[in-house]
Amino acid sequence: MESKKNKVEIKILRPFGPSIIKIKMPNEIVIKMNEYVDKIIVDQNKSKELDHGKALAGNVNQEFTLEQEFMKSIRWAEFLGSACSQWVLNEQKKRIQTFSIIKSWVVRQFKNEYNPIHFHNGHISGVGYLKVPKNMGKTIQENKTQNNNGQLVLIHGSKNLFSEPTLTIKPEVGDFYMFPNYLLHAVYPFYESDDERRSVSFNAKLDDEAVVF
């Protein structure tokens, strides 16, 4: 045991590795996004036209791109760009001049489906939650203390002393996370529930001056 005389005051510094940010989507955007998705679901022609599954890593029910006009109507780029601008200013002490969405898409995930480990293109990526099942099932071994069903896992580096290689995130409606495009990530499957786990993602490119290091 360390005596009070020898006790050293410490300050825990920011760990190595990339930062991520967590923001809240305005409720209005969540509602409009869900209304938009629900209309596409029942329109077979539109669903086929916007199908994006072949270009993505997910083994899920349906993935489709957001149309430019819809993104403009909800000011999607402005919302994402504003958060990204604050992030870059904090991390790089630089102001971004351009924020260009390369692609934004919706993922509809149901029980037993999953998204394998992958990364994105561009500079910045992110994911937010539009619908989340109330119950995503139990662990197969009921004595497990952690249940990762339906959760997002971000991966960087490997396990080292004082350095964890993963961050597991429980999805909540309205929560939105942004991270560097190269950050490996995956989504675990969930079970039992017939509810939909619905998320929206994006890839974006910044001006070169903002990403120089």
| Domain limits, the chain | 17-208
Per-residue model confidence (pLDDT) at position 1: 47
Start-to-end CA distance of the chain, whole Å, equals 44
Report the sign of the C-alpha dihedral through residues 62, 170, 191, 183, in that order: positive
Report the sign of the C-alpha dihedral through residues 158, 159, 163, 169, in that order: positive
What is this structure's pTM? 0.90
Per-residue model confidence (pLDDT) at position 163: 83
Q: Which amino acid is at 106?
A: V
Number of residues that make up the chain: 213
Q: Which residues of 71-97 are buried (b: 16+ CB within 10 A; e: fewer)?
A: beebebbebbbebbbebbeeeeeeebe
The CATH number fitting domain 17-208, selected from 3.30.365.10, 2.60.120.620, 2.170.190.11, 1.10.3720.10: 2.60.120.620
**Quick one: what percent of the chain has pLDDT higher than 90?**
71
pLDDT in single tens digits along all 213 residues of the chain: 445 666 656 555 555 688 899 999 999 999 999 999 999 999 999 999 999 998 888 999 899 999 999 999 999 999 999 999 999 988 888 999 999 999 999 999 999 999 999 999 999 999 999 999 999 999 888 888 889 999 999 999 888 887 889 999 999 999 999 999 999 999 999 999 999 999 999 999 999 877 765
Per-residue model confidence (pLDDT) at position 7: 60
CA distance 69 to 147: 39
